[in-house]
Homo-oligomer: A and B are copies of this chain.
Amino acid sequence: MDSASGLPTLAVIGATGAVGAVMLDLLSTRRDMYGEIRLVGSDRSAGRILRVRGRSVEAVPLTREVFDGVDIAAFAVPTPVAAEWAPVAAARGAVVVDGSPAFRSGPGVPLVVPEVNPERVRERPRGIVAGPGCTTLSMIVALGALHRRYGLRELVAASYQAASSAGRSGTDTLYAQLEKVGGDRALGNRAGDIRGVVGELGPFPAPLAMNVVPWTGTPAPGGWTSDEIAVRNETRKVLGLPNLKVSATCVRVPVVTAHSVAVHAVFEERTNQREAQEILARSPGVVLCDNPETHEFPTPSDVVGTDPTWAGRVRRSLDDPRALDLFLCGDNLRKGAALNTAQIAELVAAEQTG
């Protein structure tokens, strides 16, 4: 606890990354819950000056001592780094909030989305609380709201994932490829043309500019990707539905930031289009944007940089009164990562402050 302010001390691990940058922005624009804030990067970033809460703060490298006196450690680093260092932070007394996949499926680690299962944050025998991945986070707040009314039974999801969920190198690669293809009208009419022009593929397994790539994550059994399996496991864990039927197809699209998901959800109860729209409209963390006649539906370019999950294209299935189709859109760096971590950290801070 920060002795001057009586407020918790926060460390941001990975403050120099894509998610870290948004975290600093959130810490600067939301109600201030913290005393000291320590910013941590890799050795490469030691000494870099970052801005948070209107002040300059020097990034320090990741060491054991960095956690001394830290109450809450927010992790936004690659999985292996989180796997190694989160237990170190916890052993030194910090409550860890981790946004990486390292602990999401772990026993004794709650997987928390504050709008859906905030109570779980207190059940953390290992001192670690995890947040789901950005694809799950793009839909779970809206789905959770509909689940509370209708009882979710089955989920089919197809994603439209942005480049920045592959970190800074994802964003850099897409910009570089877009620069190369520009408005070149010779492209896009013959197979392979784009492959010959875009240059580096970066973290993607195929060209992303002027293309879509039906693969995100790493190979999992049965032809699935790790991201697709994660959507299934995380949705089940957050909603407390261990037998929920889930089929996801994860696809990367040439968008810089903001994920979208086309959702087909089957419920226990009969649904109603108007009522579902009202439920979404009044759910905290969700904005309903659903008036297609006047071209109102969420698109990534309209929601990037905003906090909520945007819901639109709400339709009741023509063939099953218990099924709804909808289109959800959210910023993968905000609710999909930094914001969810910040919200969990605030729940812990509120607990600690009294």
Contacts and interface: CB of A to CB of B under 8 A. Distances in A.
Interface in A245-266: 245-247, 249, 251, 253-257, 260, 262, 264
A188 B323 contact: no
Given A178-B181, A302-B195, A253 B188 contact: no
Contacts of A301: 188, 191-195, 206-207, 210-211
Given A188-B304, A195-B301, 20 more contacts: A156-B264, A158-B249, A158-B262, A160-B251, A175-B185, A188-B255, A191-B303, A192-B301, A205-B295, A210-B254, A213-B299, A214-B262, A214-B313, A214-B327, A223-B292, A223-B314, A244-B319, A246-B319, A249-B262, A262-B262
A300 interface: yes
A298 interface: yes
A189 interface: yes
A47 interface: no
A182 interface: yes
A4 interface: no
14 contacts: A154-B319, A176-B183, A180-B183, A182-B182, A187-B256, A191-B302, A191-B303, A192-B301, A192-B302, A206-B299, A207-B301, A210-B256, A212-B253, A247-B319
B191 A304 contact: yes
Nearest to A172: B185
A301 B212 CA distance: 8
| Most chain B beta-carbon contacts within 10 A, residue among A189, A264, A323, A327 | A189
A316 interface: yes
A92 interface: no
A315 B223 CA distance: 6
A183 B327 CA distance: 28
A117 interface: no
Contacts of A227: none
A178 B295 CA distance: 22
Contact of A327 (B160, B193, B251): B251
B179 A247 contact: no
A151 B205 CA distance: 34
Contacts of A177: 183
A293 interface: yes
A273 interface: yes
